[in-house]
Structure 1
């Protein structure tokens, strides 16, 4: 809504040579005939805070929407508050200084002065004041006018009593924003402990913030001023944090909130108001908005930028693609003997068929799954290697891995197609803590094993969740154990690796950073779903996972389709064949806990006529025959012909 200039309401003011026109910042009130106007449209009728009149040339304060109107000279870009423009040239018999006449004068020398009434030290130069030439005393415009004309009482929607302005400078805590301010306050005439600062008292009830922050943080919808944020309401919204500073909210303090999104912000963060004397207490991470880039691209030519685009991209693929000497010169149909497998592997470069039988690449939309036996990641493109006899599959880069690497360990790590001493080849990666039955790099002497992706983790990465800042690898420690991951909001404990931005105190688990792609495809939605780091714009409703059908916390990373307004847990999203099986286990992970496990294969047990299949347990599998605990969400061995089933760990002890 723009300003309305009324040319006929003109004023010839002594401070300016040209006539000033009255400019209305808000539309006139609606007539009775307009009462049936659409309610939603009415809600939008407010003045954006960037539609103001600039600085008043008399008091040097900003002209904002709640001032309703002001006087303006367009040719000179000269503005005056209506209140200031209508001040009398002289004031006689002022109650504080009745002996002499006060004159409204321009501070032509540009000196700083102390107001005789409120004792504030005015640092602005070239403003108007009321001055007594006999006594050499000055009053600022506000003090000289409000004391003379009225007590300046106001009402506040958050308090039952009237508030009276204090006409002296104080340093006090404002009970609206909770921060200390230095300057003018309003105090309750009944409850003297209740004080709010002048800035908070004059906050607009509707606010657009993108034009007041120099682009640091933005939100496209108007924010509504709320005078409390009850803990019960916060709890129902999964305890949101301020979208600017990431700080917590308090039930009794004012906030700005969006009525169309789950966007909440402190009032001082929304208005970017910080007291100068408070700046020494602010940390560099006091904003979640734009950050200055703290590295140069040319100094980090091989910098890994996360998240990866889709499920077909990963750290191992990127690393091996940079090793030019390892690129295969095989041709379609040629065979190799690989130490990981007893049969020859056929190279597929163009055709995707084995013995005239079509081999389907990994495709979530068609519910076809083809996982590499090395890295346990999807095979989505050619070339790759495959066994004609048993469907053993390797990415081209997984078939050309180096035999030894120097990872995050004291000793060199050797490539192990099967981890020694581990039942069914399943081991826990020492870095991401995910179980895996793919290839490993390990040190048998120390019983230290990592999956082949984690073996190539770089020292530094960048991530879209915290753009323009380097994230450095951090090994487990007592200090790290007290930190929380920004992706899943769970602690690191004493055993988790992390990526960390020291200036901003930003931490994410390595698996959250590297194993959650930017886009995924899922049979539950015909469109790609994108990784989100917080609540989605234009989505005020609750968030329910389309896979497990549970409500979830949108402050943890998740996948979302804007077109269909569908969402899903990050841990539920990438699952292909298990999606009907209620896969999301509440163990604090953003990543599906069996993401590095390739199910399949069989186990023979004495005393049972059929082979047991290696699968993920579902609800109808019931309880383990040995420990009697539930099989759902666990790795299990079960008979496909009867109800005979064990947990993976129970089966391993049963075999031994």
Structure 2
């Protein structure tokens, strides 16, 4: 990713003075000269790469001048096109204010009577807009005591031609509270409307939106999106569909109304509501590029949250259990281990040997680049470094039992577990009631055949990683805000995980930011590392929470070759411009064939299952069966005749016989 900051230089074309006779105004002693205001231009940026220069064209937009009308006290805007200015002193007037006379005869808003100019610091009520006014001039009828402020006196002259609409827009006669067709929100203030199209009504703030801006998306006073955003006056549904139905990159809400204005990047899939792109009210939102950039502060203090877990974990070799056990010195013991130390563990019938300095002969560390898989039998996570325990009779075809050092020394029980505080959870190296030790974790809802912590009273089991979930974490996908563990109610059917876009209702535990209503499933937060390696790309792949910069084409997974939406988390290599489903990347063996197509989630369904060469014998078949994941080539189940692909199966390696996991269980019992 090119992190170079791009600044769009904004300059105002030199003001053109028209050679006409100066105006003598009855309220000012000096002559006034008419000044024409060319609208503001965005010039080509000298910092833009050469290949992009042709794409950065001059853009015209309305801007605020550094002048205020000395009569009506309102700002002079570029859409006023010209104004009168005094060369001698700092005195400026709108053209329509300057051309008013001391006496208005037969004015359209009060025909028949003369109106006289008055100016003072008294307060009066305008009979046109019904507003109390002070310190601005008025026109007064001596016959019927009619009063009209100078702003209403010039309404018929206050028209604009806006790029968003083909007809001229008139200013509303008074400030109103109304919805705006530009942003879709309700505003109070000055509006412009079209007399031909009654539905077209925009507020002054939207009328003045810049056609180009840089956006500060997060929290560190830097522009995290390097390209200028362009103001678009609609977001056609066909484009919305083609871009995978994007959400606003600031607030996270959908961009479903095609008639509303948005800001978008022409080089990336970056879209944002206009009010989100320009809001100065919320510190975490973006602002205009001005001399004074906003700053967002953390909503927590580090010293009040010691040992706070920061996610995602760096790589596949890092995980929650490792972090937790590294702080439990009384469990791990002396870090100076002795090579060859023997351990008798309840999970295995043979003694285990500790390898602290080097791997034993015949055992290779987990390496996705070489398609070598070595998974711990306790946590079912990769073993990528020493120390770890190996069965003294290790044979990759017969007994391939291995354990992380920390998994071999887990505490026997967990009390006051955050998801089940009523009962103590006890360590179970194998759940006796579960066939082949496979159970569904009550938290992440993934199947697992590793160690578990369980409550036999409630028949509740969690895998050993989910047993140590902290109450609070932070995550790069939602920086500087605390995420707290909560149990969502069944009524929260409209809340979705930001990672996989699946609902959060009905789940046991999820992480939640209450100030932003941001949700992440536990498994999405804890099981997707920041960096991962795969043989299909020679570079490390980085976890992305949104589309990559400088990438507007479609996204295809390099593993399963399916198209996917980049609004769900995925892995991406910027160097090679390659992308992969988050659920496909962990697969380094045969099961990397079209795996993601069935699950449609960020987490590979069998991430916590160790498929092994262990063979079982069932009735009605003469050969032993291996525990594997079903592939398309495995065809149909020999018992129920349903498809085996994407399922846990038992497969005969000598013939074409294969069974679903549940069908094998019924055949054994």
TM-score (norm 2): 0.81
1:261–1:539 Cα contact (<8 Å) kept: yes
Matches within 5 A, 1:449-488: 449-475=461-487, 477-480=489-492, 483-488=495-500
Alignment partners' CA distance in 2, 1:517 and 1:511: 11
Q: Which residue is 2:5 aligned to?
A: none
Q: 1:204 to 1:626 in 2, by over 3 A?
A: same
Note if 1:366 corresponds to 2:370.
yes
Matches within 5 A, 1:228-239: 228-239=234-245
Residue 93 (structure 1) aligned to one of 95, 104, 115: 104
Note if 1:546 corresponds to 2:563.
no
Residue 420 (structure 1) aligned to one of 413, 416, 432: 432
2:345–2:351 Cα contact (<8 Å) kept: yes
Of stretches 450-459 and 559-568 in structure 1, the one that deviates more from structure 2 is 559-568
Note if 1:591 corresponds to 2:603.
yes
Of stretches 18-27 and 495-504 in structure 1, the one that deviates more from structure 2 is 18-27
Q: Deviations over 1:404-428 (max 9, x none)?
A: 1122332222211111121111111
Alpha-carbon offset, residue 620 of structure 1: 0.7
Alpha-carbon offset, residue 373 of structure 1: 0.6
Residue 265 (structure 2) aligned to one of 224, 237, 258: 258
Q: Deviations over 1:295-326 (max 9, x none)?
A: 22111112111111111111100110000122
Gaps of 5+ in 1: 31-36, 275-281
Residue 182 (structure 1) aligned to one of 183, 188, 191: 188
Q: Which residue is 2:668 aligned to?
A: 655
Note if 1:397 corresponds to 2:434.
no
1:6–1:21 Cα contact (<8 Å) kept: no
Q: Deviations over 1:161-211 (max 9, x none)?
A: 544333233332222322223333333323434433333344444444449
1:294–1:469 Cα contact (<8 Å) kept: yes
1:25–1:52 Cα contact (<8 Å) kept: no
Q: Deviations over 1:506-557 (max 9, x none)?
A: 2211111111111111112222222222222222222211111111122211
Alpha-carbon offset, residue 385 of structure 1: 0.9
Q: Deviations over 1:214-237 (max 9, x none)?
A: 959864323333333233432333
Alignment partners' CA distance in 2, 1:332 and 1:38: 59
Alignment partners' CA distance in 1, 2:296 and 2:370: 41
Q: 1:144 to 1:41 in 2, by over 3 A?
A: farther
Aligned length: 625
Note if 1:3 corresponds to 2:18.
no
Residue 336 (structure 1) aligned to one of 338, 343, 357: 343
Aligned residue for 2:596, secondary structure, equals: coil
Of stretches 439-448 and 595-604 in structure 1, the one that deviates more from structure 2 is 439-448
Q: Which residue is 2:356 aligned to?
A: 349
Gaps of 5+ in 2: 1-8, 45-49, 288-293, 395-399
CA RMSD of aligned residues (A): 4.2
Aligned residue for 1:415, secondary structure, equals: strand
Q: 1:115 to 1:122 in 2, by over 3 A?
A: same
Matches within 5 A, 1:2-41: 2-3=10-11, 6=14, 26=40, 41=54
Q: 1:509 to 1:169 in 2, by over 3 A?
A: same
Q: 1:209 to 1:317 in 2, by over 3 A?
A: closer
Q: 1:28 to 1:412 in 2, by over 3 A?
A: closer
Q: Which residue is 2:631 aligned to?
A: 618
Alpha-carbon offset, residue 118 of structure 1: 4.5
1:623–1:630 Cα contact (<8 Å) kept: yes
Q: Which residue is 2:326 aligned to?
A: 321
Aligned residue for 2:592, secondary structure, equals: helix
Q: 1:365 to 1:191 in 2, by over 3 A?
A: same
Alignment partners' CA distance in 2, 1:419 and 1:28: 68
Matches within 5 A, 1:158-173: 161-173=167-179
Aligned residue for 1:610, secondary structure, equals: coil
Note if 1:46 corresponds to 2:59.
yes
1:8–1:21 Cα contact (<8 Å) kept: yes
Q: 1:81 to 1:626 in 2, by over 3 A?
A: farther
Q: Which residue is 1:293 aligned to?
A: 298
Q: 1:122 to 1:203 in 2, by over 3 A?
A: farther
Q: 1:211 to 1:625 in 2, by over 3 A?
A: closer
Of stretches 284-293 and 247-256 in structure 1, the one that deviates more from structure 2 is 284-293
Alignment partners' CA distance in 2, 1:345 and 1:121: 88
Residue 269 (structure 1) aligned to one of 267, 270, 276: 276
Alpha-carbon offset, residue 244 of structure 1: 2.5
Note if 1:605 corresponds to 2:618.
yes
Q: 1:225 to 1:363 in 2, by over 3 A?
A: same
Matches within 5 A, 1:49-88: 53-54=65-66, 56=68, 58=70, 83=94, 87=98
Alpha-carbon offset, residue 39 of structure 1: 9.0
Q: Which residue is 2:640 aligned to?
A: 627
Alignment partners' CA distance in 1, 2:499 and 2:519: 9
Alignment partners' CA distance in 2, 1:498 and 1:569: 22
Q: Which residue is 1:279 aligned to?
A: none
Alignment partners' CA distance in 1, 2:209 and 2:201: 15
Alpha-carbon offset, residue 245 of structure 1: 2.5
Alignment partners' CA distance in 2, 1:303 and 1:214: 20
Q: 1:353 to 1:229 in 2, by over 3 A?
A: same
Alpha-carbon offset, residue 574 of structure 1: 2.1
Residue 375 (structure 1) aligned to one of 376, 379, 384: 379
Q: Which residue is 1:34 aligned to?
A: none
2:61–2:210 Cα contact (<8 Å) kept: no
Alignment partners' CA distance in 2, 1:214 and 1:305: 17
Q: 1:618 to 1:146 in 2, by over 3 A?
A: same
Alpha-carbon offset, residue 52 of structure 1: 6.3
Alignment partners' CA distance in 1, 2:502 and 2:619: 42
Q: Which residue is 1:33 aligned to?
A: none
2:216–2:223 Cα contact (<8 Å) kept: yes
Alignment partners' CA distance in 2, 1:411 and 1:398: 23
Of stretches 495-504 and 153-162 in structure 1, the one that deviates more from structure 2 is 153-162
Q: Which residue is 1:278 aligned to?
A: none
Alignment partners' CA distance in 2, 1:411 and 1:540: 52
Alpha-carbon offset, residue 495 of structure 1: 4.1
Note if 1:200 corresponds to 2:197.
no
Q: Deviations over 1:311-367 (max 9, x none)?
A: 11111001100001222443112222112111121111112123xx4x321122222
Alignment partners' CA distance in 1, 2:101 and 2:123: 22
TM-score (norm 1): 0.83
Q: Which residue is 2:6 aligned to?
A: none
